[in-house]
Amino acid sequence: MSHSRIFRDDLLEGQVAIVTGGGTGIGAATARELCRLGATVVIASRKESNIRPAAEGLSAELGRPVHGAIVDIRDRDSIDRLVSDVLGSHGRIDILVNNGGGQFFSPAEAIRPKGWDAVVATNLTGTWNLTRAVADGWMLANGGSVINITMLTKRAFPGMVHSVSARAGVEAMTRTLAVEWAARGIRLNCIAPGFVASSGLRRYPAGLNIIEQMRSFVPMKRTASCEEIAWQVAFLASPAGAYVTGQTLTVDGGKELWGDWWPIPDPPDMSPVEIPREPWEETE
For the chain, give the number of residues.
Answer: 284
Looking at the DSSP bridge assignments, the partners of residue 148 are: 98, 190
Residues 164-189, mean pLDDT to the nearest whole number: 97
CA distances in angstroms from 155 to 55, 196, 213, 256, 259, listed in the order given = 36, 18, 19, 7, 11
Give the β-pairing of 67-70 and 196-197.
unpaired
pTM of the complete model beyond 0.75: yes
Checking if the pLDDT of 3 tops 90, the result is no
Asked if residue 92 lies in contact with residue 16, where contact means CB atoms within 8 angstroms, the answer is yes
> CA quadruple 16, 20, 23, 29: dihedral positive or negative?
negative
278 pLDDT tier (thresholds 50, 70, 90): confident
9 φ/ψ angles, rounded to the nearest 5 degrees: -65, -30
CATH of domain 16-257: 3.40.50.720
Q: How many CB atoms lie within 10 A of CB 248?
A: 20
How high is the pLDDT of residue 29? 96
Checking if the pLDDT of 198 tops 60, the result is yes
Q: Which residue has the higher pLDDT, 214 or 150?
A: 150
Checking if the pLDDT of 169 tops 60, the result is yes
pLDDT, the chain, mean:
91
How high is the pLDDT of residue 103? 81
DSSP character for 6? S
Tens digits of per-residue pLDDT, 212-243? 788 888 999 999 999 999 999 999 999 999 99
Contacts of 28 (CB under 8 A, 6+ apart): 22, 43, 54, 58, 226, 278
Looking at the DSSP bridge assignments, the partners of residue 17 are: 41, 95
Q: Which of 209, 198, 219 is nearest to 265 (CA)?
A: 219
Which of 35-49, 163-177, 191-205 is least confident?
191-205
Instruction: Classify 197 as helix, strand or coil.
Output: strand
**In the Cβ-directed half-sphere of 271, how many Cα atoms lie within 13 Å?**
4
